[in-house]
Amino acid sequence: MRTIPDSPPLRYSNTTRVLHWVSAIMILSTIPIGAIMLREGLERSTQDLLFILHKNGGVIIFALVLARLAWRLVSPPPPLPASIPDWQHRAARLGHMALYAMLVVMSVSGYVRVRAGGFPVEMLDAIGAPTLVPRSEALADFAQSVHGYARFVLVALIVVHVGAALMHMVRRDGVMRRIWPPVGG
Ligand code: HEM
Ligand code: HEM
């Protein structure tokens, strides 16, 4: 019997793929920088540099998340290959939404912690952006706890996401090719 071959798997747009990989690199650097900058015994100048990279990198990640969500409305994800079971469609959608949500929680709580504590965000201060958050130690402490706890949720989601991606890579089921290479292909 003649079988009809599957149509080739569809890719995310170039813009989506570039945004995904630039964000991934930034997030995977921002997390260890955040952890290292709080270590005891660091030289003051090193710590200052890591704080500057972390705070401003976090603001750029936030801008990238907003750009990704806006672009997603213009260019929605292509349908998954027909071989992928329904529960995996739902799990992927839920996982992706949770990743976006936790990135927003991390960026906003980090920003509030810094501004409510009266500290600078160099990149935004340089362009004269309003701080938007009142000075308040209580608010700064609350935002610090949110930032500290939410990071565990974000890291857990990233581990599951990358684990699922590796599983699809091994199975060669066409899912990895939706997001790789970052451009063209
Ligand atoms: C998605 C973006 C972000 C991620 C993934 C992230 C991640 C982290 C991590 C892993 C830590 C270490 C927490 C610990 O070890 O207790 C941390 C600490 C910190 N982050 Fe972020 N961060 C992000 C955005 C931001 C932003 C936008 C700011 C400020 C503008 C910021 C300010 C801080 C500060 C001040 C700390 C130290 C908190 C403390 O004193 O305990 N972060 N962040
Ligand atoms: C910090 C790291 C990462 C974050 C936050 C992240 C986040 C996301 C998000 C939100 C999507 C959904 C895009 C959309 O539909 O709007 C996505 C798709 C995808 N990501 Fe990541 N990603 C990260 C790292 C990685 C890595 C390291 C890999 C591979 C090893 C990967 C593989 C994929 C694949 C294969 C898809 C397409 C899934 C599908 O078509 O359903 N991601 N990622």
Protein residues with CB under 6 Å of any ligand 1 atom: 27, 30-31, 34-35, 38, 54-55, 58-59, 61, 103, 106-107, 110-111, 113-114, 121, 144, 147-148, 151, 154
C-alpha of residue 161 to centroid of ligand 2, in Å:
7
pLDDT in tens, 108-167: 999 999 999 999 999 999 999 999 999 999 999 999 999 999 999 999 999 999 999 999
Residue 184 contacts residue 18 (beta carbons within 8 Å): no
CA-nearest of 121, 150, 115, 151 to 135 is 115
C-alpha of residue 26 to centroid of ligand 1, in Å:
13
**The Cα angle at residue 64 between residues 59 and 65, in degrees rounded to 5:** 95
Query: Which residue, judged by its Cα, is nearest atom 37 of ligand 2?
Result: 179
Q: Kindly tell me if the per-residue pLDDT of 4 is higher than 60.
A: no
For the chain, domains (ranges, CATH) are 14-178 (1.20.950.20)
Signed CA dihedral, 55, 60, 63, 68: sign only: negative
DSSP 8-state assignment for residue 39: -
